[in-house]
Amino acid sequence: MKRIHFLNSIQEIFQNHPVCAILGPRQCGKTTLARQFIQQHGTTQIHFFDLENTFDLGRLDNPMLALSALHGTVVIDEIQRRPDLFPVLRVLADTTSLRFLILGSASRVLIRQSSESLAGRIGYLDLPPFGLREADDSNKLWIRGGFPKSYLANTEKGSFAWREFYIRTFLEQDIPNLGFKIPYRNLHRFWMMLAHYHAQLFNASELGRSLGLSNHTVKKYLDILEGTFMIRTVQPWFENIGKRQVKTVKIYFRDSGILHNLMGLPDRTAVERHPKLGASWEGFALEELLRYYEVPASNAYFWRTQTGAELDLLIHHQGKRLGFEFKYTDKPKITPSIRSALANLQLDHITMIYPGPHSFALNNSVTVMSIQDLYQEFR
**The predicted structure's pLDDT at residue 164:** 97
Range of the domain at 361: 138-378
Same domain, yes or no: 211 and 360: yes
Mean pLDDT of 80-99: 92
**What is the C-alpha to C-alpha distance for residues 5 and 21, in angstroms, rounded to an integer?**
16
Residue 89 inside a domain? The answer is yes
378 vs 303, residue with greater confidence: 303
Q: Per the structure, how many domains does the chain have?
A: 2
Res 65 pLDDT > 90: yes
| Least confident piece of the model among 82-96, 111-125, 269-283, 286-300 | 111-125
Residue 131 inside a domain? The answer is no
The 10 Å Cβ neighbour count of residue 290 is: 23
Res 179 pLDDT > 90: no
Res 276 pLDDT > 80: yes
- For 95, counting Cβ atoms within 10 Å of its Cβ (0-12 exposed, 13-18 middle, 19+ buried), the class is exposed
Residue 262 inside a domain? The answer is yes
Do residues 192 and 230 lie in contact, with contact meaning Cβ atoms separated by under 8 Å?
Answer: no
Same domain, yes or no: 374 and 254: yes
| 147 contact partners, CB below 8 Å, separation of at least 6 | 25, 27, 28, 129, 130, 162, 163, 166, 255, 257, 258
**What is the C-alpha to C-alpha distance for residues 324 and 301, in angstroms, rounded to an integer?**
10
**What is the C-alpha to C-alpha distance for residues 341 and 335, in angstroms, rounded to an integer?**
10
Same domain, yes or no: 148 and 101: no
Strand, helix or coil for residue 137: coil
Quick one: angle between helices 184-195 and 215-227, nearest 10?
80
Domain final residue, candidates 63, 93, 126: 126
pLDDT one-digit tens code per residue, 337-374: 999 999 899 999 999 999 999 999 999 999 999 998 88
Percent of the chain with pLDDT over 90: 76
**What is the C-alpha to C-alpha distance for residues 275 and 48, in angstroms, rounded to an integer?**
47
* Mean model confidence pLDDT for the chain: 92
Residue 213 inside a domain? The answer is yes
**The predicted structure's pLDDT at residue 368:** 96
**The predicted structure's pLDDT at residue 350:** 97
pLDDT one-digit tens code per residue, 233-245: 999 988 766 566 6
Res 314 pLDDT > 70: yes
**The predicted structure's pLDDT at residue 240:** 66
Do residues 324 and 351 lie in contact, with contact meaning Cβ atoms separated by under 8 Å?
Answer: yes
Res 173 pLDDT > 70: yes
- For 34, counting Cβ atoms within 10 Å of its Cβ (0-12 exposed, 13-18 middle, 19+ buried), the class is buried
Same domain, yes or no: 121 and 160: no
Residue 46's CATH number: 3.40.50.300
Res 114 pLDDT > 80: no
Same domain, yes or no: 104 and 143: no
Q: How confident is the model at residue 379 (pLDDT cuts 50, 70, 90)?
A: low
**What is the C-alpha to C-alpha distance for residues 198 and 367, in angstroms, rounded to an integer?**
26
| Least confident piece of the model among 84-93, 104-113, 178-187 | 104-113
pLDDT one-digit tens code per residue, 248-273: 899 999 999 999 999 999 999 999 99
Percent of the chain with pLDDT over 70: 97
Domain final residue, candidates 126, 157, 186: 126
Same domain, yes or no: 51 and 153: no
Distance in Å from the first CA to the final CA of the chain: 14
**The predicted structure's pLDDT at residue 117:** 82
pLDDT one-digit tens code per residue, 7-64: 999 999 999 999 999 999 999 999 999 999 998 876 668 999 999 899 999 999 999 9
112 vs 310, residue with greater confidence: 310
Same domain, yes or no: 63 and 199: no
Same domain, yes or no: 343 and 224: yes
Type of residue at 246: V
* Strands, E assignment, the chain: 19-23, 46-50, 73-77, 99-104, 122-126, 200-201, 231-236, 250-253, 300-304, 310-317, 320-326, 349-354, 360-361, 366-370
Q: How many helices (H) and strands (E) does the chain have?
A: 18, 14
Mean pLDDT of 299-304: 92
**What is the C-alpha to C-alpha distance for residues 147 and 255, in angstroms, rounded to an integer?**
8
Do residues 255 and 127 lie in contact, with contact meaning Cβ atoms separated by under 8 Å?
Answer: no
**The predicted structure's pLDDT at residue 108:** 79
Domain final residue, candidates 63, 95, 126: 126
Same domain, yes or no: 166 and 255: yes
Mean pLDDT of 90-107: 92
pLDDT one-digit tens code per residue, 180-211: 889 889 999 999 999 999 999 999 999 999 99
**The predicted structure's pLDDT at residue 349:** 96
**Three-state SS letters, 60-116:** CCCHHHHHHCCCCEEEEECHHHCCCHHHHHHHHHHHCCCEEEEEECCCCCCCHHHHH
Residue 320 inside a domain? The answer is yes
Residue 132 inside a domain? The answer is no
Mean pLDDT of 279-296: 94
CA-nearest of 178, 124, 96, 147 to 6 is 124
Do residues 163 and 258 lie in contact, with contact meaning Cβ atoms separated by under 8 Å?
Answer: yes
Residue 133 inside a domain? The answer is no
Same domain, yes or no: 154 and 254: yes
Same domain, yes or no: 214 and 309: yes
Residue 205 inside a domain? The answer is yes
**The predicted structure's pLDDT at residue 239:** 75
Mean pLDDT of 116-133: 91
Same domain, yes or no: 35 and 159: no
**The predicted structure's pLDDT at residue 110:** 72
**The predicted structure's pLDDT at residue 238:** 83
Long-range contacts of residues 267-272, Cβ cutoff 8 Å, at least 24 apart = 267/143, 267/156, 267/160, 268/139, 268/143, 271/143
Type of residue at 352: M
| Least confident piece of the model among 154-158, 279-283, 301-305 | 301-305
Provide the b/e sequence for 247-270 (b: ≥16 CB within 10 Å).
eeebbbbbbbbbbbbbbebbeeeb
The 10 Å Cβ neighbour count of residue 154 is: 7
Edge-first strand order for the sheet with 200-201 is 200-201, 250-253, 231-236, 300-304, 310-317, 320-326, 349-354, 366-370, 360-361
